[in-house]
A and B are shown apart, each in its own frame.
Chain A
Amino acid sequence: MKSESNLEKVLEAGKFAVTSEIGPPKSADGNVVRKKTGILKNFVDAANITDNQTAIVRLSSIAAASILLQEGIEPVAQMTVRDRNRIAIQSDILGAAALGVKNVLCLSGDHQKFGNHPSSKNVFDIDSMQLIRMLKDMRDAKKFQCGDEMDVEPRLFIGAAANPFADPFEFRVHRLAKKIDAGVDFIQTQGIYDINRFEKWLEEARSEGLTEKVYILGGVIPLKSAGAAKYIKNKVAGMIVPDSLIDRMKNAADPKQEGIKIAIETIEQLKDMKGVHGVHIMAIEWEEKVPEIVKESGLLPRPSV
């Protein structure tokens, strides 16, 4: 096994994996992380910790991951290439591994234009593809990016994102193939609302044999309101929300409950798709709904492996 992480073991055992996401606070209050951890414990196999998502400064993902370990949930530390060069990333990865972090998700990161420090200088020394390869070389060849060797390598389960809804669509499966070649172990997709487009992407990935080479966790983001659905459709680059879904939210008596229902239906569909190995539930500042979603989707109890 590459990392011995719980997530890796669950997937290796052929179980349908469940991950979720925790956004650290915009303050030094570690108790916020502890509280969110308490909500998710026993309902997920691992929880992602976002890394200054949307370029807004938050408590560090590796520090929060370390809190998760104390609280007994396995973290997936997200790592963007926006804010760190290859020196800082490798150093942080060694530190994370020393603290016991076993899963890392490699991301480009949202542009700082969207965040609370739009006048900052970005880094982008390497891209997310190169980050995957760098971590793989650190783990498997015990080598830094420069080629120098290390004694003790970080044993990591390497993840990355995939977005079947971005353009050019024809390139999206090639990009997945590239990430696999670069060394990725698992994929968490962008939130799925357009299930047809997702299936088209998956079908292509399957026919290229890619779903045999990597674990794919379908992304699910429960909607809170019709307004939120419209916002995602119009304002969040690289996402598709079909109008039928927006109408459904608009006509619902209890939109929040409808959003949960849609999420559960999506998970039910994902469970039946060949080549989907799990689900990644991103309930942004709505973590308290994750237990219900997992339970109603028939994904309890979580396996102990």
Chain B
Amino acid sequence: MDEILEMLARYERILLLGCGTCVTVCLAGGEREVGILAGQLRIHARQEGKSAQVDEHTIERQCEKEWVEEIKDRVEGVDVVMSMACGVGVQLVAEMYPEKPVFPALNTTFMGYPAQHGIWFENCRGCGNCVLHLSGGVCPITRCAKSLLNGPCGGSQNGECEIDKEIECAWQVIYDRLKKTGRLEWMNNYQPPRDWSTAGSGGPRRSVKIEEVLD
């Protein structure tokens, strides 16, 4: 919250822009959270004795141009857009309205599903070269603290990762699953170094589906 207030300190008319897809599901940046944050911003302004106009709006998806285009008039009427989408949404809004400051309200952390209501675990780092079909449906790149590919390190004990007893050792889970399904040979065979160029080490990534490209 302090980070957000600092970002907004110089601005009076604010558009709080929610996103109706992933961040709604993970309770971080949907209509409900937009309402909460807007209330907090108004109270803060009153306490400081400032006038503030906080508009609230939530669109279906901030990562698609069509949806972002529809809010043109709203964006023009404010000094700043505070996006409550993930880093992707923030960047698309900023790109489409280059004359407006667009700020992130969230610190986008990872891609994961809820383990139980209110608790999320990181599952995928979008490495661009998936091994889930071989690794028993558990991602070693993301869920092993050392992104190992050839089995558990020497710190794996009682199914816990050496860095934190609250974190499962991914390789123990992989071992158990592969054993159950009779596929241990993947683990017993040498896995060569990976090509990390698809995982972000090759520079910003770009993906083209040629049949979908309209020119």
Q: Residues of A at under 8 Å CB distance from B?
A: 82, 86, 108-111, 113-114, 122, 124-130, 133-134, 145, 161-163, 165-168, 171, 174-175, 177-178, 181-182, 190, 237-238
Neighbouring B residues of A129 by C-beta, 8 Å = 149-151, 190-191
B157 in contact (CB, < 8 A): yes
B71 in contact (CB, < 8 A): no
Q: Choose from B146, B157, B163, B191 the contact partner of A166 (Cβ within 8 Å).
A: B157
Neighbouring B residues of A134 by C-beta, 8 Å = 193
Within 8 A of A (CB), among B122-150: 145-150
B193:A126 contact, CB within 8 angstroms = yes
Q: Choose from B149, B154, B158, B187 the contact partner of A130 (Cβ within 8 Å).
A: B149
A178:B158 contact, CB within 8 angstroms = no
B154:A161 contact, CB within 8 angstroms = yes
Best-buried of B152, B169, B192 by chain A (most CB within 10 Å): B152
B148:A166 contact, CB within 8 angstroms = no
Closest 6 CB pairs of A and B: A163-B154, A237-B162, A129-B150, A237-B155, A238-B155, A127-B148
A127:B146 contact, CB within 8 angstroms = yes
B39 in contact (CB, < 8 A): no
Q: Quick one: closest A residue to B149, CB to CB?
A: A127
Distance A171 CA – B156 CA, assembled complex (angstroms): 11
Neighbouring B residues of A168 by C-beta, 8 Å = 152, 156, 172, 175-176
B107 in contact (CB, < 8 A): no
Q: Choose from A82, A124, A178 the contact partner of B151 (Cβ within 8 Å).
A: A178
Distance A202 CA – B59 CA, assembled complex (angstroms): 63
Best-buried of B147, B150, B164, B187 by chain A (most CB within 10 Å): B150
B146:A108 contact, CB within 8 angstroms = yes
B188 in contact (CB, < 8 A): yes
Q: Quick one: closest A residue to B155, CB to CB?
A: A237
Neighbouring B residues of A182 by C-beta, 8 Å = 190
Q: Choose from B145, B151, B190 the contact partner of A171 (Cβ within 8 Å).
A: B151
| Contact flag A238-B188 (CB < 8 Å), given A111-B146, A127-B146 | no
Nearest CB of chain A from residue B185's CB, rounded to whole Å: 10
Query: What are 13 contact pairs spanning A and B, CB under 8 A?
Result: A122-B146, A127-B146, A127-B148, A130-B191, A134-B193, A163-B154, A167-B152, A167-B157, A178-B151, A178-B190, A190-B154, A237-B156, A237-B157
Distance A162 CA – B152 CA, assembled complex (angstroms): 11
| Contact flag A178-B188 (CB < 8 Å), given A130-B149, A161-B154, A238-B157 | yes
Nearest CB of chain B from residue A158's CB, rounded to whole Å: 15
Distance A114 CA – B152 CA, assembled complex (angstroms): 18
* 7 further contact pairs, Cβ within 8 A, besides A127-B146, A168-B175: A111-B163, A124-B147, A128-B150, A166-B152, A166-B156, A178-B150, A238-B153
Distance A124 CA – B158 CA, assembled complex (angstroms): 23
Neighbouring B residues of A111 by C-beta, 8 Å = 145-146, 155, 162-163
| Contact flag A166-B154 (CB < 8 Å), given A126-B193, A181-B190 | yes
A167:B193 contact, CB within 8 angstroms = no
Nearest CB of chain B from residue A121's CB, rounded to whole Å: 12
Distance A236 CA – B169 CA, assembled complex (angstroms): 15
Q: Choose from B146, B151, B172 the contact partner of A175 (Cβ within 8 Å).
A: B151
Neighbouring B residues of A167 by C-beta, 8 Å = 152, 156-159, 169, 172
Nearest CB of chain A from residue B109's CB, rounded to whole Å: 16
A238:B156 contact, CB within 8 angstroms = yes
Neighbouring B residues of A161 by C-beta, 8 Å = 154
Neighbouring B residues of A238 by C-beta, 8 Å = 153-157, 162
Distance A287 CA – B72 CA, assembled complex (angstroms): 71
B148:A108 contact, CB within 8 angstroms = yes
Nearest CB of chain A from residue B169's CB, rounded to whole Å: 8
Neighbouring A residues of B158 by C-beta, 8 Å = 167
Best-buried of A82, A114, A130, A167 by chain B (most CB within 10 Å): A167
Best-buried of B159, B162, B172 by chain A (most CB within 10 Å): B162
Distance A82 CA – B169 CA, assembled complex (angstroms): 18
B110 in contact (CB, < 8 A): no
Q: Quick one: closest A residue to B159, CB to CB?
A: A167
Distance A161 CA – B188 CA, assembled complex (angstroms): 17
Distance A45 CA – B96 CA, assembled complex (angstroms): 68
B11 in contact (CB, < 8 A): no
Distance A165 CA – B191 CA, assembled complex (angstroms): 23
Distance A190 CA – B147 CA, assembled complex (angstroms): 22
Neighbouring B residues of A109 by C-beta, 8 Å = 146
Q: Quick one: closest B residue to A175, CB to CB?
A: B151
Distance A122 CA – B147 CA, assembled complex (angstroms): 10
Q: Quick one: closest B residue to A108, CB to CB?
A: B153
Distance A114 CA – B161 CA, assembled complex (angstroms): 13
